[in-house]
Structure 1
Amino acid sequence: MTVIEKGSARLILAPEAGGAIAGFTIAGRDIMRPTPAGANDALDTASFPLVPFCNRIPNGRVTFEGREVVLPPNLGDHPHALHGQGWRGAWTVERAEGDAAVLAYVHAADAWPWAYRAEQTFTVDEAGFRVVLSVTNTGETAMPAGLGFHPYFPRRTGETLTAANDGVWMINADVLPTVHHAGPWEVDLAAGAAVEGRGLIDHCFTGWDQRAVLAAPGAPDTVITASPENRWLHVYIPPAESFYCVEPCASRPNPFGEGETGMTRLQPGESRSIWMDVRSA
């Protein structure tokens, strides 16, 4: 574990577990879901990076500029490649002192046939932190790239989630997007929606304005903001769990599907970056 802090704010990093955040506290209060002792899977952490794509690729099949690629499953027997490679690899601590840290992950071409370097830069202040996630194409041909964040938050009594949006992608049984529904659906996040008392929500909301507010009676709000590239907000609210996820993403599920998905094309040596702020207000 690697710890950086400022005042009573403490950010715990787990570079060996997919470059994840293991916890974030202010004055001992958990702002994000804490990682259980001994856990070493990014899925058990407080947050992990999505690089070089977000969410699911159906059956791991990619077509990019005439090249056919098949990615192996990376979540047990789930058939759809998920969230890229960064969350399944160990990251290197390049610097960690005081209130700042830099983690790096280097990917050599394999089933994902494009080499790249990913980097996370963390900075903590007394009310929150910012993480900048970047990816650089280190190969010799153009590479597709998408980025995102996967933070988990404690589900507090009476919690509401507010996030402007203009619609949501419907999903099938494999949690893959099917059709886009304009306007409110199931939960009206733009007006503020209760987190409790719902079935599974595992949907990508569109037209997000890069700000989400998590509010609970008698407690400070948690405010998530993100860079303009994060036009999609993926919300995961599993029934009967003690957590939920509010995920700023610069590309949507099925990132090689039809329409505008947010995936970009990086020439050799080119980079792309996004950021996310999490703070108590």
Structure 2
Amino acid sequence: MRDARLTVEGETVELTPTELPAGHAIHGHGLRRIWEAESDGSTLRMHYAHEAGIGGWPWPYRAAQVIEIDDAGMTVTLSVLNSGEGAMPVGLGFHPYFPQTPGTRLTLPVATSWPPTEAEKFPVAGGQPVPAALDRREEGPVPMGLDQGFGGWEKTARIAWPERRLALTMTGEGPLDHVIVYTPEHNRYFCVEPVTHAIDAANLTELQGVADTGHAILPAGAEFSVCLRFTVEVI
């Protein structure tokens, strides 16, 4: 969120900056919290309760994560329950890292590109046509030097490592309509991150009237949930 500031229904909320020195807020709360956990061997269940005001976020909620392992892969379910008395904005996402090898191939069907400006990471407009160089509806090499979002994700992505004879498919369920692609030039790893919303979605929606950002408002007592399945195959 640009400048660690969130605008919701005309009200401005000042958050605690977590991306320094830029002063933005990034990645929510879950990675900075201690989760309570229990496991029965193949399933890990985790949860934590967020108290209103922590990190500047004025809404209380309960977050849960369930990780299930089976012979073919892994399923991760994320959910958040609005435990307050008023509606709150909500967004969920996954941030998997993948090894980058010379032969890595990517298939990622999306409908729109949300490019940032050259000076910063934030899009300033709505979805645009996907440039041919970034179009991965058909399998191709991982496009390098990206840190941006895409919209209209078809909730499937495939990454193949031919030299390792391995491939992995991600399949999403729920409102995972966006995906962030991060491909640093050092070529050691890259990220394909299914998310429910565009970068800075609340401010794009509330301040600029941009459509299709995935910005969501969760009523009191309601739950918001997404699921991502990772399936491994030998090729």
TM-score w.r.t. length of structure 2: 0.89
Alignment match of 2:79 (pick from 130, 134, 147)? 134
Equivalent-residue separation in structure 1 for 2:98 and 2:197 (angstroms)? 21
CA distance in 2, matches of 1:76, 1:185: 34
What is the rounded CA distance, in whole Å, between the counterparts of 1:186 and 1:80 in structure 2? 29
1:155 Cα deviation from its structure 2 partner: 0.9
Given that residues 214 and 223 in structure 1 are in contact (C-alpha distance below 8 angstroms), is that contact kept between their aligned partners in structure 2? yes
Name the CA shift for 1:153/1:115 in 2 (closer, same or farther; >3 Å): same
Tell me, what secondary structure is at the counterpart of 1:191? strand
Which residue, 183, 193, 203 being the options, matches 2:140? 193
8 Å contact 1:158–1:195 — kept in the other structure? no
Choose which of 145, 149, 152 in structure 2 pairs with 1:207: 152
The CA distance in 2 between the partners of 1:152 and 1:129, in whole Å, is: 15
Measure the CA separation in 1 of the matches of 2:98 and 2:114.
22
Alpha carbons 2:149, 2:180 under 8 Å: kept? yes
Partner of 1:108: 51
Deviations for 1:64-85, whole angstroms, at most 9, x for unmatched residues?
Answer: 1232201121133231111211
Contact preservation (8 Å) 1:167, 1:184: no
Instruction: Give the CA RMSD over aligned residues.
Output: 1.5
The question of whether the paired residues in 1 share the 8 Å contact of 2:7 and 2:13 is answered with yes
Bigger drift between 243-252 and 67-76 goes to 67-76
Matched to 2:189, the amino acid is: F
Is 1:181 equivalent to 2:128 in the alignment?
yes
Q: Which amino acid is 1:209 matched to?
A: E
- Sequence identity percentage: 34
> C-alpha distance in 2, partners of 1:189/1:77?
34
Aligned residue number for residue 219 of structure 2 = 267
Does the 8 Å CA contact 2:85/2:220 hold for their aligned counterparts?
A: yes
SS of the residue aligned with 1:186? Answer: helix
The residue that corresponds to 1:231 in the other structure is 177
Residue 230 (structure 2) aligns with: 278
Larger helix proportion of the pair: 2
What amino acid is the match of 2:155?
Q
1:43 is matched with none
How far apart, in 1, do the equivalents of 2:174 and 2:154 lie?
8
Paired residue for 1:70?
Answer: 14
Residue in 2 that maps onto 1:119: 64
- Contact in 2 for aligned 1:138/1:268 (Cα 8 Å): yes
Map residues 32-51 of structure 1 onto 2, 5 A cutoff. Answer: none
CA contact 2:112–2:150 (8 Å) conserved in 1: yes
Runs of 4+ more than 3 Å apart: none
Which is worse superposed, 229-238 or 64-73?
Answer: 64-73
Unmatched tracts of structure 2, length 5 or more? 206-210
Alignment match of 1:96 (pick from 28, 35, 39)? 39
CA distance in 1, matches of 2:220, 2:72: 38
Aligned length: 222
For 2:4, the equivalent position in structure 1 comes to 60
265-274 vs 176-185, greater mean Cα deviation = 176-185
Q: Partners in 2 of 1:166 and 1:263 — Cα distance?
A: 18
| Counterpart-to-counterpart distance in 1, 2:151 and 2:212 | 11
SS at match of 1:150: coil
- Please give the alpha-carbon distance, in whole angstroms, between the structure 1 residues aligned to 2:22 and 2:229: 31
Of structures 1 and 2, the one with the larger relative CO (CA 8 A, separation 6+) is 2
**Residues 235, 246 of structure 1: 8 Å contact kept:** yes
Given that 2:101 and 2:187 are in contact with CA atoms closer than 8 Å, whether structure 1 keeps it comes out as no
Q: How does 1:147-166 map to 2 (within 5 A)?
A: 147-166=92-111
